């Protein structure tokens, strides 16, 4: 493959098949091949005096081939023209996908794999890739764990008016241009009330003026992107709310098809690989979430 493909994890779960179909459509939009990837952990062969009727390692590999075949069939039903490559590996899925993400245009994963519990709303592999992946990572989610992700609607992107979100903005604008849908840029400008933080020093804050200043900052930050993508309709939203709640509200209210966020925003530290906002969205969003590392 001369160009980097769209890489999607396959594990036989319904969530993974949702991700496979989403990734197939995205590969067509981008003019890229689709790489179906499955990794199975092969334990060492047991040393027992009696031969087992069937080798466990062979059974795992056969199961992996079956799941890859099912994923390929699902792709052909939605995008029959896309070029498909299948890859069956032995090893730890999260580690292998992090390594392979360096050679991918995009990594797509389901929100939960096989063996997921109802309380774990996002799988460990998805979190690991969002933490450490070398390219954009999309975790495909729907309104429920069983439902298909939304296909229509705008794209919502979180903007913190710092350079940390520029990679997310570029991804979001490019995605809106490819899909020919509006882009809703959401900036949340408060996450705590200063008056409660210093009760011994009463402060009179004019939230109207603060809001106007934050909205002006959003407009100024988006100016370069509007010039780069003049065909994209941009809707600006500057709201006084916590980041996760504000972004989730915007995505749900607009029936968004994709929510885009940086891996960490203003004030993020190098050792904190995934910010609280992106972590919260991965767990609670009702649409696919793209996490974009700077």
Q: Using the predicted structure, report yes or no on whether residue 274 has a pLDDT greater than 50.
A: no
Which has the higher per-residue pLDDT, 58 or 197? Answer: 58
Q: In the numeric block, which tokens belong to residue 183?
A: 């882009």
CATH fold match for the domains 6-140 and 155-292: yes
Strand order across the 183-188 sheet: 84-90, 34-40, 6-9, 106-110, 137-140, 289-292, 258-262, 155-158, 183-188, 234-239
Q: CA 244 → CA 24, 27, 250, distances in Å?
A: 29, 29, 10
Kindly report, residue by residue over 13-59, the tens digit of the pLDDT. Answer: 898 999 999 999 999 999 999 999 999 887 666 665 555 556 777 88
pLDDT score recorded for residue 219: 95
Kindly report, residue by residue over 57-97, the tens digit of the pLDDT. Answer: 788 889 999 999 999 999 999 999 999 999 999 988 889 99
Q: CA 161 → CA 17, 100, 137, distances in Å?
A: 36, 32, 22
Burial zone of 44 (CB within 10 Å; 0-12 exposed, 13-18 middle, 19+ buried): exposed
State how far the Cα of 63 lies from the Cα of 48, in Å rounded to an integer.
24
| Of the ranges 185-194, 218-227, 268-277, 279-288, the best mean pLDDT one | 218-227
Give me the residue spans of the domains in the chain. 6-140, 155-292
If one looks up domain 6-140 in CATH, what number appears?
Answer: 3.40.50.620
CA dihedral of 280, 225, 250, 216, whole degrees rounded to 10: 100
Model pTM score: 0.86
Average pLDDT, the chain: 84
Which phi-psi region, left, alpha or beta, contains residue 54 (left: φ > 0; alpha: ψ -120 to 50)? Answer: beta
The pLDDT-based confidence of 283 (bands split at 50, 70, 90) is: confident
CB 230 within 8 A of CB 173: no
The pLDDT-based confidence of 123 (bands split at 50, 70, 90) is: low
CATH pick for 155-292 out of 3.40.50.12370, 2.40.50.140, 2.102.10.10, 3.40.1280.10: 3.40.50.12370
First to last CA, the chain: 25
């Amino acid at each position: 493959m001369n160009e980097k493909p769209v890489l999607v994890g396959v594990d036989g779960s319904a969530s993974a098949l949702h991700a496979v179909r989403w990734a197939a459509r995205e590969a067509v939009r981008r003019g890229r091949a689709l790489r179906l990837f499955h990794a199975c952990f092969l334990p060492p062969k047991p040393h027992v005096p009696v031969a087992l009727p069937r080798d466990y390692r062979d059974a795992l590999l056969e199961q992996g081939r079956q799941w890859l075949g099912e994923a390929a069939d699902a792709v052909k039903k939605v995008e029959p023209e896309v070029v498909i490559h299948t890859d069956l590996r032995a090893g730890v899925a999260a580690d292998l996908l992090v390594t392979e993400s360096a050679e991918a245009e995009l990594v797509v994963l389901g929100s939960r794999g096989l063996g997921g519990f109802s309380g774990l709303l996002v799988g460990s592999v998805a979190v690991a890739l969002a933490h450490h992946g070398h390219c954009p990572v999309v975790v495909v989610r729907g309104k429920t764990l069983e439902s298909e992700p939304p296909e229509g609607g705008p794209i919502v992107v979180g903007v913190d008016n710092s350079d940390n979100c520029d990679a997310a903005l570029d991804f979001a604008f490019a995605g809106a241009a490819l899909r020919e849908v509006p882009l809703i840029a959401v900036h949340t400008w408060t996450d705590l009330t200063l008056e409660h933080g210093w009760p011994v020093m009463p402060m009179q804050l004019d939230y109207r003026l603060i809001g106007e200043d934050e909205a002006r900052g959003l407009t100024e930050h988006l100016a370069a992107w509007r010039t780069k993508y003049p065909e994209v309709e941009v809707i600006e939203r500057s709201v006084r709310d916590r980041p996760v709640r504000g972004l989730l509200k915007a995505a749900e209210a607009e029936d968004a098809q994709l929510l885009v966020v940086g891996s960490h925003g203003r004030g993020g530290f190098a050792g904190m690989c995934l910010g609280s906002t992106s972590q919260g969205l991965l767990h609670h969003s009702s649409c696919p979430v793209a996490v974009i590392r700077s």
